Amino acid sequence: MSFQEYILWLKFFEKRPIGWREDLRAYRIMCSGGNMKNPKPGEYFSSLKQMSEAEAAENKRIPQRGTFAHSAMLNAKGGQKLDFLQ
C-alpha cells in the first residue's frame, strides 16, 4: 500500500469510523424505548459524534447561498440560464 493510499484510508475512517453502523443500530434501539430525555447520538456513542463533526466540517467547505462565491457564480456569463431547460 502506498503512503498516499494510506492517508486516504485514514481520511475515510475519520468520516466513517469502524463500528459506526453497530452504534447507530444500538442508538436507534435505545430511542425506541422512549426513556431517553435528550436523544443526541453523539452523547452516547463517540463514533456517531465523530461522524457528525466530520459532516459539519465538510458542509462548511461548501459555499452556501448568499456567499460571495455563490453570487459570483450566479452573475457569471449565463448565470442561472440553462440551455436545455428552454
pLDDT of residue 4: 92
CB 52 within 8 A of CB 20: no
Contacts of 50 (CB under 8 A, 6+ apart): 14, 17
CB 45 within 8 A of CB 56: no
CB 16 within 8 A of CB 51: yes
Q: For the segment 8-36, what is each residue's pLDDT rounded down to a tens digit?
A: 988 888 888 888 889 889 888 888 887 77
Give the separation between CA 32 and CA 34, rounded to whole angstroms: 5
pTM score over 0.75: no
